[in-house]
A = this chain, B = another copy of it.
Amino acid sequence: MTTTAPAADVLTARERLVRAAQELYAEQGVDATTPRQVLERSGVGQGSLYHHFPSKTDLARTALVRTTEESLDTARGTLAGGGSSSGRLRAYLGAPRDALAGCAVGRMTSDPVVMADPTLRAPLEEYFTGLLDLVTLALWEQGFSESEAHDRAMSVVATVQGGYVLARALGDDTALERALRGARTLCGLEES
């Protein structure tokens, strides 16, 4: 533990560690990511890693919370912005997605390290609960009943997640977009 480093430097190293972990988790998951890889990607020293994040779990928790908060902020930007509910749903379903990379949040549900630790699964649950609320509200504004809006939101978010799975399994980045046509129908949106 260094006591002479200025606060700004400390923050910067910590930030670089978190961002490196976020990238590596999105690429290969938490389980497959080693401290050495995080150090190499971040460019910070080993002492700094263990100073800020004494355990692998500390780093994983911080990076997963960051990733899920950023993803939910993005969804909020389209689904809770201004305009009609149909326009907002259209914007959410039409948002640019790297289908072959998969969802940085959804893929964590297959990571044995994440699923074995309730403190690592918690950010995933918060993300999907928040996202489902946003989609449910937009569907309710579309005129669906409360229970219909809840169920269709589950279908719509599932279609996004499963569309990523299909794109990766088929090696076909159009699979997600094609799956989302069905989600548009469930949202009461006309095909353009």
Residues of B within 8 A of A105 (CB): 169
B162 touches A165 (CB 8 A): yes
B28 touches A112 (CB 8 A): yes
Q: Mark A132-171, 1 if CB is under 8 A from B, else 0.
A: 0000000000000000001110111111111111101111
Residues of B within 8 A of A152 (CB): 181-182
Residues of B within 8 A of A112 (CB): 27-29, 32
Given A109-B102, A159-B159, A162-B163; A154-B168 close (CB under 8 Å): no
Which residues in A have some Cβ–Cβ distance to B below 8 Å?
Answer: 27-29, 31-32, 102, 105-112, 115, 121, 124-125, 127-129, 150-152, 154-166, 168-171, 175-176, 178-183, 185-186
**Can you list the 5 inter-chain pairs with the closest CB atoms, starting with the nearest?**
A155-B182, A158-B162, A161-B162, A162-B162, A110-B110
